[in-house]
Amino acid sequence: MDTSALREAMVRDQLVARGIRDERVLAAFRKVRRELFIPDVPPDLAHEDHPISIGFSQTISQPYILALMTQAARPKPTSRGLDIGTGSGYQAAVLAQLCKEVCSIEILKPLADSARSRLMALGYKNITVRVGDGYRGWPEKAPFDVIIVAAAPDHVPQPLIDQLAPGGRLVIPVGGWFQELLVIEKQKDGTVDRQSIAPVTFVPMRGEAENARGK
Ligand code: SAH
Q: How far apart are CA 44 and CA 12, in angstroms?
A: 15
203 lines ligand 1 (CB under 6 A): yes
- Relative to the CA of 115, which ligand 1 atom is closest? 8
pLDDT tier at 215 (50, 70, 90 boundaries)?
Answer: low
- Residue 85 CB less than 6 A away from ligand 1: yes
Which pLDDT tens digit goes with each residue over 112-133? 999 999 999 999 999 999 999 9
Range with lowest mean pLDDT among 64-68, 80-84, 159-163, 209-213: 209-213
Residue 5 has pLDDT above 80, yes or no: yes
Catalytic residues: 61
pLDDT level of residue 174 (50, 70, 90 thresholds): very high
Q: How far apart, in whole angstroms, are the C-alpha atoms of residue 22 and residue 37?
A: 23
pLDDT at res. 1:
83
pTM for this predicted structure:
0.97
Q: Which of 112, 207, 189, 194 is nearest to 153 (CA)?
A: 207
Instruction: State the pairing for strand pair 144-149/164-175.
Output: parallel
pLDDT of the residue at 214? 59
Cis peptide before 143 (omega within 30 of 0): yes
Check pLDDT > 90 for residue 211.
no
88 Cβ closer than 6 Å to some ligand 1 atom: yes
Q: Give the domains, in start order, of the chain with CATH numbers.
A: 4-211 (3.40.50.150)
Q: Which of 198, 157, 210, 177 is nearest to 18 (CA)?
A: 198
